[in-house]
Amino acid sequence: ANELHSDMTAFDSPAFAEDLLTFMGLNRIEDNDSDDEGSAGGYLPNDAWHKLGAEAETYFRRAPSFHFMLGSFSADPPVPRQ
């Protein structure tokens, strides 16, 4: 259990983050690693997060949800049956 714990900290999150950015299609032009990232995502393509999400979905058993507009507006309560 001890060595397990020492291994736990071995996860290299900066490297993971880099790999994620690569996966998401980061455009590596003059990456400035400053603290204030201004309007972030300037280098990421617009669909970066959607692309990652589409990959992620294959590891989940998430139920697609059912959406509609007809009948979804709240009206007065229905008239009680006589």
Partner 1 sequence: MSQKHRRNDPGPSQADARDEDFVLTPSQMASQVQRNLERRSQGQVDQKVSELVQFLLVKDQKKIPIKRAGSQCFPPPPKKVIGDYRDVYPEIVNRAGWTLQKVFGLELKEMDTKPHMYILVSTLPRLPGDSFKQDDRTAKLGLLAIILSFIFMKGNSVKEVAVWEMLRRLRVDPGERHEVFGDVKKLVTEEFVRQKYLEYLPIPHTDPTEFKLQWGGRATKETSKRHILQFVAKVSGPLEGWDSKIKDLDIPGVRAGRRQGTVCAFRGHGL
Is 19 a binding residue for partner 1 by CB under 8 A? The answer is: yes
Which of 10, 29, 69, 70 contacts partner 1 by CB under 8 A? Answer: 10
Binding mask 51-80 for partner 1 (x = CB under 8 A): xxxxxxxxxxxxxxxxx--------xx-xx
R_g over Cα of the chain: 23
* Encoded tokens for 14: 């900066």
What values do phi and psi take at 22, rounded to 5? -60, -45
Rounded distance between C-alpha atoms, residue 40 and residue 34, angstroms: 11
Residues engaged in binding partner 1 (CB under 8 A): 3-5, 7-21, 23-24, 37, 40-41, 44, 49-67, 76-77, 79-80
